[in-house]
């Protein structure tokens, strides 16, 4: 009967969850997204092309845009258009959850090699682009356009922490203040993707310093990167306050009150905004071992907001420090 002791009620009590301050899906949707994110601002983040153009206007760093594919006619002439490019990323402008993103790291003669080493022919790319145009990845299946941009050259700092993909830093920004952040490391299990539910490792980062707090994969604590075996607690990304400031400026340019900014460290350009999300997920709380609600309520309760992104970041670094 010993094994019975290992059985336990598989649910946590809602009361305890509320004490920890975990933000739930319904609470996020009603109390934050629908309250602070005006509907008309959504296209700015749901359409990656619009996000990119807006960021360029505001002088924020994003990967260089190379091509916009809007018609089947352009797909047919893909070979000429791609002639000068060897490492690039194809994205559906209105894809959600990273769907339809294809990363080409190099060319091998006629073949295009993905990060995983899988080879794609020109025909494969054309089919993929046709699918994007037909709206297969967009919400509600509306016709879409594809954008082709430069591949990020990841900062060497993360070389040993990631498998195949580029690590990105998700920062939740609320009303101008960064409230929580997480580094997402792709793994073999996640097929080079940075989505936690697909098996990427999430590392909670201290808002004050960027130091790793805690790492989880598939909802369980991990100490090392499962593929490279590097200890994860040592992580402390460089340019930390620049990263936070970039995230805050992204939030302010969109007009959305509650936003997730995905930021990568480019070897040449430093912190670079990859994409923005008007409905950031909740897994960040697990990676931080901490609920979002107390921090969000704190910001809501501020009587006077700080003026510049810089001041906001400083205030958040003081307020939300994990290591004292």
Partner 1 sequence: MSRPLFYSLIAFLIVTAIGTAWLRHIYTQIPFLPGEQTTAWIVEARIDFSAQGEPVLLSLNIPEDPPGFQIVSEQTASPGYGFSIVEYDGDRRGEWSIRTASGRQTLYYKIKIIPERSGLSGPHEPQAKPRIEPVFWEESAVVAAEQLLGRARALSSTPQSMTRELIKLLSQPEPGQNAALLLTHHPREVLLEKLLNQAGVPTRLAMGLWLEDARRNQTLTPMLEIYVEGRWIMFDPRTGRQGVPENLLLWQRGGPSLIDLMGGARSQVSFSMIRQTIPTLELAHTQYRESGFDILGIHRLPIEEQGVFKLLLLLPMGALVTVFMRIIIGLRTSGTFMPVLIALAFLQTSLLQGLINFVVIVAIGLLLRSYLSHLNLLLVARIATIIVIVIFIVALISLLGYQLGLNTGMTVAFFPIIIIAWTIERMSILWEEEGPWEVLVQGGGSLLVAVAAYLSMTHPLVGHLSFNFPELNLVLVALIMLMGQYTGYRLSELYRFRDIEQHVRR
Which residues of this protein are in contact with partner 1, per CB under 8 A?
10-14, 16-18, 20, 22, 24-27, 30-31, 72, 99, 123, 126-127, 130-131, 134-136, 141, 198, 213-214, 216, 219-221, 282, 285-286, 289-290, 322
> What distance in Å separates the CA atoms of residue 119 and residue 106, rounded to the nearest whole number?
10
Question: In DSSP terms, which residues pair with 149 in a beta bridge?
Answer: 65, 89
Shortest Å distance, C-beta 204 to partner 1: 9
Shortest Å distance, C-beta 287 to partner 1: 8
Shortest Å distance, C-beta 245 to partner 1: 26
> What distance in Å separates the CA atoms of residue 236 and residue 299, rounded to the nearest whole number?
25
The answer to whether residues 202 and 290 touch, using CB atoms and an 8 Å cutoff, is: no
- With DSSP H G I counted as helix, E B as strand and the rest as coil, what are the percentages for the chain, rounded to 5? 35, 25, 40
Cβ proximity to partner 1: between 274 and 286 the closer is: 286
Cβ proximity to partner 1: between 40 and 324 the closer is: 324
Cβ proximity to partner 1: between 59 and 123 the closer is: 123
Give the strands of the sheet with 111-114, arranged side by side: 65-69, 146-150, 88-92, 102-108, 111-114, 119-120
Cβ proximity to partner 1: between 53 and 189 the closer is: 189
> What distance in Å separates the CA atoms of residue 145 and residue 48, rounded to the nearest whole number?
10
Shortest Å distance, C-beta 270 to partner 1: 30
Shortest Å distance, C-beta 28 to partner 1: 9
Q: Give the list of residues 6+ apart from residue 209 with CB closer than 8 angstroms, or none.
A: 236, 240, 317, 321, 323
Cβ proximity to partner 1: between 53 and 136 the closer is: 136
Task: Dig out the tokens for 179 from the structure.
Answer: 């409230």
């Amino acid at each position: 009967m010993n094994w019975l002791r290992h059985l336990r009620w598989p649910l946590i009590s809602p009361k305890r969850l509320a004490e920890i301050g975990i933000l739930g899906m319904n609470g996020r949707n009603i109390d934050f997204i629908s309250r602070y994110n005006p509907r008309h601002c959504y296209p700015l983040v749901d359409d990656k092309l619009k996000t990119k153009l807006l960021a360029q206007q505001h002088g924020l760093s994003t990967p260089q845009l190379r091509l916009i594919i809007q018609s089947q006619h352009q797909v047919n002439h893909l070979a000429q258009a791609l002639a000068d490019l060897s490492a690039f990323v194809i994205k559906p402008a209105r894809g959600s959850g990273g769907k339809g993103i294809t990363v080409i790291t190099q060319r091998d003669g006629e073949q295009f090699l993905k990060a995983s080493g899988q080879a794609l022919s020109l025909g494969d790319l054309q089919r993929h682009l046709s699918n994007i145009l037909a709206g297969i990845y967009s919400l509600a299946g509306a016709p879409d356009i594809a954008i082709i941009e430069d591949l990020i050259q990841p900062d060497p700092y993360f070389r040993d922490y990631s498998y195949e993909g580029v690590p990105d830093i998700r920062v939740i920004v609320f009303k101008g203040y960064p409230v929580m952040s997480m580094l997402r490391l792709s793994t073999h299990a996640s097929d080079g993707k940075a989505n936690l539910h697909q098996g990427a490792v999430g590392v909670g980062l201290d808002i004050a310093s960027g130091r790793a707090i805690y790492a989880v994969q598939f909802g369980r604590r991990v100490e090392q990167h499962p593929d490279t075996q590097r200890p994860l607690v040592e992580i402390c990304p460089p340019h930390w306050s620049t990263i936070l400031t970039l995230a805050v400026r992204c939030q302010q340019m969109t007009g959305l009150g509650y936003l997730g900014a995905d930021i990568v460290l480019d070897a040449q350009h430093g912190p670079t905004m990859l994409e923005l999300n008007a409905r950031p997920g909740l897994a960040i709380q697990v990676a931080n071992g901490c609920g979002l609600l107390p921090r969000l309520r704190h910001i809501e309760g501020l009587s006077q907001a700080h003026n510049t992104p810089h001041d906001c970041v400083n205030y958040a670094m003081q307020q939300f420090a994990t290591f004292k």
